[in-house]
Amino acid sequence: MSDVMHVHGGAPLTGAITVRGAKNFVSKAMVASLLGEGPSELRNVPGIRDVEIVRDLLELHGVRVDRDDRAGVLRLDPTDVESAHVADIDAHAGSSRIPILFCGPLLHRLGEAFIPDLGGCRIGDRPINFHLDILRQFGAVVDKRENGIHITAPRRLQGTKIALPYPSVGATEQLLLTAVRAEGLTELAGAAIEPEIMDLINVLQKMGAIISVDTDRVIRIEGVDRLEGYRHTSLPDRIEAASWASAALATGGDIDVLGARQPEMTAFLNTFRKVGGGFEVHDDGIRFFHPGHELSSIVLETDVHPGFMTDWQQPLVVALTQATGLSIVHETVYENRFGFTDALRGMGATIQVYRECLGGHPCRFGQRNFYHSAVISGPTPLIAADIEVPDLRGGFSHLIAALAAKGTSRVAGIGLIDRGYENFTDKLAALGADFDRD
Ligand SMILES: CC(=O)N[C@H]1[C@@H](OP(=O)(O)OP(=O)(O)OC[C@H]2O[C@@H](n3ccc(=O)[nH]c3=O)[C@H](O)[C@@H]2O)O[C@H](CO)[C@@H](O)[C@@H]1O
Ligand SMILES: C=C(OP(=O)(O)O)C(=O)O
C-alpha cells in the first residue's frame, strides 16, 4: 500500500469504531511470556506494527507464536527459547522501544542477551541509562557494542533496592520483568504506575509472581524460582481512544469509541470537558462529540500517570486550534514533542513554542534549550497542505488536521501511523472520511 494519503477534509467524522488492546501493554505482555515455563495466551491484541515487531523478535528467540488476527488472540510458547543470531536481531535495530525489555527474561533463561539499538518516536533524546543502572544493580554485566548492547549474568540475578530519579514507564517495566525471577526481595521507589504497568503486574501475578504496589510509588517484588504461562485479556488502548476523541472535537463530529473505558482516562476526560467537548460513558465504550458551540481555551501540563498523558497531547493540540482564546500546553515528559506543530502552522494554526515552562510548574526541561511549551491561539480555520508525518502521534494529529481542513491535503509517510493505530484507514472510512490511499 502507498505511504501517501490524499485527504479531502472539511467534514465532521461521525459514527462508531472499536479500539482493541493497548500498544503500550500488549508488547510488554508478549515479552513477559518469555518468563513462563509453559505457553501463554493473550487476547484483545490489535493488528499494529509494534506487535509484529515483537512477534518477530520472539520468534528469532525460538518462541512459537500462533495468532488469530480476527479474534485478536496470540498464543506464545517459549518452551524452546534459545539465543538468537545477532545478525537477525540487528535487523530490528531502530524498530521500537521494546527490545530493551527482553534483558531480564533472557538473562534468567539464557544468561545472556543482545539488544539492538532502540527505535520509537523521536520526541526527545530517550536515553536508556535508568534501564542499564537497574540491570547492573541486579548483577548483570553490560557491554556496549556498535549496534546495541550485549548483556550477561555471570550468576543468578539478585534482588535489590532502587530509586528511580524519574518515574519512567520503561524502566519500571524493566525492573518488574527482571525482579520477578531474581533471588530475594526487590524494592523500587519512584515507580511509574501507568495503567499499562498495572496490567503487566496482573499478568506477572497470574504467572506466579509476588508483587505489591503502595500508593507512594513503591513497588516490592519477592523473587520466585518458577513462573507459568498466563491467559489474559489486554486493557484497551486509552491513547487511541483519546486520539479519536480529539478527532471528533477538531472536525466538529461525533465518534462512539467502542471498547474505551473510563477508569484509565479520567485525566483526559476532565480536560476534554474543560475544553467544552461532550462525552457519554456507556456500557460498551465512550461517545465523544463536539457540543455545537464554541470550545474553550485551557492551560494544560502533560505528566506521568495519574496526570494528563504525553501521548494524548499531540492530537488534542489540533482540537485546541479550534478553541476560542489562548491555550497553553506545557510538555513535561519529553523535551522535543512539539515538532509536529510546524506543519499545523503551515495549515493556518497560530501556535508559538517556548523554551520556558509555561504551564505553572517548573519541569526538568526549563532553562534549557528545549521548546517544550506551546501557546495556541484560536479558533483558526485550517487549510489543506502537503504534510510529512514525523512520528506516530504527530502523524495522527496531522491526519486530524487534514480531515478538519477544507480542501485536499497530501499526507506522506502515513505508514508510521500503522505502528500504533489498528486499521486506521478502515476506521476513517467508517466515520465518513473522504480520502484516497493508493
Ligand atoms: C512503548 C511504550 O510503552 N512507550 C511509552 C512509554 O515510553 P518509555 O517507556 O520509553 O518512556 P519513559 O517513561 O521511560 O520516559 C519518560 C522520560 O524519562 C526519560 N528516561 C527514560 C528512561 C531512561 O533510562 N532515562 C531517561 O531519562 C525519557 O527520556 C523521558 O523523558 O512511556 C511514555 C510515557 O508515558 C509514553 O509516551 C510512551 O508511549
Ligand atoms: C511515544 C510513543 O511510543 P513509543 O514509546 O513506542 O515510541 C507513543 O505511543 O506515543
Q: What confidence tier does 90 reach under pLDDT thresholds 50, 70, 90?
A: confident
Average pLDDT over residues 337-350: 98
193, 202, 208, 321: which is closest to 264 by C-alpha? Answer: 193
Select from 179, 212, 233 the last residue of a domain: 233
Ramachandran angles phi, psi of 28, nearest 5° = -75, -40
Average pLDDT over residues 114-139: 92
Number of domains in the chain: 2
How much helix, strand and coil, in percent to the nearest 5, is found in the chain? 35, 25, 40
275 and 360 in a single domain? The answer is yes
Q: What confidence tier does 1 reach under pLDDT thresholds 50, 70, 90?
A: low
Question: Could you tell me if the CB of 96 is within 6 A of ligand 2?
Answer: yes
Average pLDDT over residues 359-379: 94
Average pLDDT over residues 91-102: 86
C-alpha cell at 232: 489474559
Q: What confidence tier does 231 reach under pLDDT thresholds 50, 70, 90?
A: very high
Report the SS3 class of residue 422: coil
Select from 197, 218, 233 the last residue of a domain: 233
CATH code: domain of residue 189: 3.65.10.10
d(CA 301, ligand 1 centre) in Å: 16
Average pLDDT over residues 192-197: 98
Q: What confidence tier does 205 reach under pLDDT thresholds 50, 70, 90?
A: very high
Select from 233, 257, 289 the last residue of a domain: 233
Candidate from 51, 100, 336, 393 with most ligand 2 atoms within 8 A of CB, to mutate:
393
53 and 93 in a single domain? The answer is yes
202 and 343 in a single domain? The answer is no
- Looking at residue 145, its amino acid is R
Question: Could you tell me if the CB of 121 is within 6 A of ligand 2?
Answer: yes
What is the value of pTM for the model shown? Answer: 0.97
Q: Which of 35-39, 85-89, 172-176, 259-263 is least confident?
A: 85-89
C-alpha cell at 390: 514525523
| List of residues 6+ apart from 393 with CB closer than 8 A | 121, 239, 243, 311, 313, 314, 315, 340, 420
The verdict on whether 121 is a catalytic residue reads yes
Average pLDDT over residues 337-360: 96
Candidate from 23, 48, 243, 314 with most ligand 2 atoms within 8 A of CB, to mutate:
23
188 and 309 in a single domain? The answer is no
Average pLDDT over residues 115-139: 92
User: For ligand 1, what atom is nearest to the CA of residue 310?
Assistant: 37
For 70-86, write each residue's pLDDT tens digit. Answer: 999 999 999 998 877 77
What local confidence, expressed as pLDDT, does residue 121 receive?
Answer: 85
How does 226-258 read in b/e, with b if 16+ C-beta sit within 10 Å?
Answer: ebebbebebbbbbbbbbbbbbbbbbbbbbbbbb
CB 262 within 8 A of CB 281: yes
CA triple 313-246-288, angle to 5 deg? 135
221 and 326 in a single domain? The answer is no
For 395-415, write each residue's pLDDT tens digit. Answer: 999 999 999 999 999 999 999
What local confidence, expressed as pLDDT, does residue 120 receive?
Answer: 84
What value of ipTM does the predicted structure carry? Answer: 0.99
Domain span at 197: 23-233
Query: Atom 3 of ligand 1 has which residue's CA nearest to it?
Result: 24
Q: What confidence tier does 94 reach under pLDDT thresholds 50, 70, 90?
A: confident
